[in-house]
Structure 1
Amino acid sequence: MTTQTPAYASPADVAAHGPYGPGRTDRPGPLYPFRGRITADGFGGHPAEPGRYHLYASYTCPWAQRAVIVRDLAGLRDVVSVSYVDDDRDARGWAFRERRGPDPVNGFTLLAEAYDATEPGYPGHLSVPVLWDRRTKRIVSNDFARIPADLGTAFAEWATEDLYPEDLREEIEALDEEIARDLGQGVHLVARAATQEDYERRRAGVAAALDRLDARLAGRRYLFGDRLTESDVQLWVFLVRYDLLHNPLAGITERPLTAFRHLWAYARDLYGIPAFRETTDFAAFRLTARPAHLGDGPVRIAVEPHEADWDEPHGREALAGEHA
């Protein structure tokens, strides 16, 4: 019996290949053009079937981690497979290297190969997460906002936990939109602020959102009380990156996550759940670049990466709600 040697890409080399982005993320048209939906009844051509779909993810990307956490919380580890691209990339995009393992489905060395298999010569953004159909050998979706919803609803027949309960679904979608706008997009707007006025206004908006969510969690274990939902996942993937990546990169506030009493305890509470802990690698959040400080740009506060003790007891056991 022979064992095939895993195929890996060469190391990321920006000097040789150039940085990722130019020619990919600045093209006209949608950044996330593949928007197929997996459904329980198969409407649209992608029926929910165990073993049919594979999720390409990254430890660095919050949207990819969100999809994997939803998969794990819903009890779908044996239903939808997952593998990880390497943390580093150059102009070739995401790649498979020994650090994170090979592509177990197609043997690709570059994620671009999955895009090209779906649309030959695909010129656009090479993003994660990617939901792949083993049967058609094509990408179903790279729509990062919708993939978790499909994983959390279409596979209900095999799921062990419902993260999108019908009676809360509209509220979950509204809160998801708020978190994505005020925090997920908010930190990027702070980092890209070109004037002092924009910088101060945008960072104040992110800080206000953190204060608002901190107050919401003062007397409840999860965002919707005693029920863990997808909104908790959406918020958590932002919180876990805040001290090491978002705040130092953008210069948002002098307060680390640990200064938000309820958010910090809540974040540690969720970290104790395997689906959150096992999909997290803090080394993947390392700060690799600082924002460019142009002479006429905003003067930003200096924030250093903050190392916190995520294993510190959270003390929220008295609040109603327990993850199964």
Structure 2
Amino acid sequence: MTITPLAAVPPAHRGAAPLFRGRLGRDARSGHYAVAHRYRLHLSTACPAGLRLAVGHTLLGLDGSCPVTFLPALPDGDDGGHAVLRPLYEAGAHHYTGPALAPVLSDDWSGRIVSNHAPDILRDLDRFPRTGHGPLFPAGLESVIEAVERMCGEGIEDAAQRAGSAGADPVERAAALDVLLDTLGRLERRLAGEEYLADGRLTAADIELWVSLVRLDTVHRCHLDAHAVQRVAEHRALWAYARRLTAHPAFGRHLDLDGIARRHQGSCRGLEAAGAAVQILDWAAHATGSPGTPRR
């Protein structure tokens, strides 16, 4: 499979630069190494980075070896962070005054943060010992997965946000919509007749695309006009793929539709457009478990 990235830049939807970039090595000499019952994930499934990690964690079968602390959809700190995470941040950064942001991978042995950089965390979870669960980053598919990450960040997340920006020039909005539709078209062609994006197996690329499609229909759609949403919905193979993954227990059980909506309403300052009334998928109807409620 060949997927060419739209731009050789880090995905813009990753958010602000992380403060902690520790990595789990493959043995004890690294300081932090992948061992059961030492680490803990702290995340909100209403956050796209947290949703990716929750799905990946479940696909890897790590419930027993790396527990998860689920955080509320809306941060409860006065600074925009999560109050429960502040002790971890203060333990790792002297006189830390910034927001205690999620997601976080912490070390229960030391009470400190290993990383708050979600892409690294997902790759490090893939290093945990386990049986009966395939890797999210199979050898030989790294470049494909990275290309999908870039396409989702640049061609879906960023493009959809610019296309729905009420304050942008109409020409710029139209150009951004063209980028979005071109990206969706490329992914649509790849998925025609295929179950997954890479080598016929479920990988981190599928987690990345599924979360981007969730956000496209539940967040970005609200700021697009109805005609733009109809053009987005015309990619039938892509939305059938999203519907199929939502029915997978590792995906649908973490889909907190109410939390995503509240998080969007709490942070968005843009104007709602006609596309808000044109939902593409009935996500709750296809999700496993309690519709709209993540597993706790």
Structure 2 residue aligned with 1:62: 48
Contact 1:92 / 1:112 at 8 angstroms: preserved in 2?
no
Q: Deviations over 1:230-272 (max 9, x none)?
A: 1000000111222221211455922276532111111111112
Contact 1:156 / 1:162 at 8 angstroms: preserved in 2?
no
SS at match of 2:141: helix
Q: Deviations over 1:57-106 (max 9, x none)?
A: 112111111111111101111111111211123633344xxxxxxxxxxx
Contact 1:93 / 1:111 at 8 angstroms: preserved in 2?
no
Cα separation, 1, equivalents of 2:25 and 2:236: 40
Any stretches of 5+ residues in structure 1 without a counterpart?
Answer: 1-29, 96-108, 294-299, 314-324
TM-score (norm 2): 0.79
Any stretches of 5+ residues in structure 2 without a counterpart?
Answer: 1-15, 288-296
Q: 1:195 aligns with which of 162, 169, 184?
A: 169
Structure 1 residue aligned with 2:121: 147
Q: 1:51 aligns with which of 37, 53, 68?
A: 37
Check if 1:92 corresponds to 2:79.
Answer: yes
Structure 2 residue aligned with 1:134: 108
Check if 1:281 corresponds to 2:268.
Answer: no
Q: Deviations over 1:204-223 (max 9, x none)?
A: 21122112211211111101
Cα separation, 2, equivalents of 1:136 and 1:191: 44
Structure 2 CA distance for partners of 1:243 and 1:174, relative to 1, 3 Å: closer
SS at match of 2:68: strand
Correspondences of 1:1-324 after superposition (within 5 Å): 31-89=17-75, 91-95=78-82, 109-152=83-126, 154-157=127-130, 160-191=133-164, 194-249=168-223, 253-255=228-230, 258-286=233-261, 287-288=264-265, 291-292=269-270, 302-305=274-277, 306=279, 308-310=281-283, 311=285
Shift of the alpha carbon at 1:158? 5.1
Shift of the alpha carbon at 1:128? 1.9
**Identity, % of aligned pairs?**
31
Q: Deviations over 1:134-172 (max 9, x none)?
A: 0111110011221111112x2145562212110212222
Structure 2 CA distance for partners of 1:275 and 1:312, relative to 1, 3 Å: closer
Cα separation, 1, equivalents of 2:183 and 2:80: 33
Q: What amino acid maps onto 2:148 in structure 1?
A: L
Cα separation, 1, equivalents of 2:223 and 2:28: 43
Cα separation, 2, equivalents of 1:267 and 1:226: 16
SS at match of 2:230: coil
Cα separation, 2, equivalents of 1:145 and 1:159: 23
Shift of the alpha carbon at 1:40? 2.0
Cα separation, 2, equivalents of 1:125 and 1:31: 13
Cα separation, 2, equivalents of 1:53 and 1:122: 22
Structure 2 CA distance for partners of 1:307 and 1:262, relative to 1, 3 Å: closer
Contact 1:271 / 1:277 at 8 angstroms: preserved in 2?
yes
Q: What amino acid maps onto 1:92 in structure 2?
A: D
Cα separation, 1, equivalents of 2:100 and 2:32: 22
Q: Which has the higher contact order (CA 8 A, sep 6+)?
A: 2
TM-score (norm 1): 0.73
Shift of the alpha carbon at 1:303? 1.4
Structure 2 CA distance for partners of 1:39 and 1:190, relative to 1, 3 Å: farther
Shift of the alpha carbon at 1:229? 0.7
Cα separation, 2, equivalents of 1:144 and 1:56: 11
Structure 2 residue aligned with 1:13: none
**Structure 1 vs Structure 2 CA RMSD:** 2.6
Of Structure 1 and Structure 2, the greater helix share is in: 2
Cα separation, 1, equivalents of 2:156 and 2:247: 23
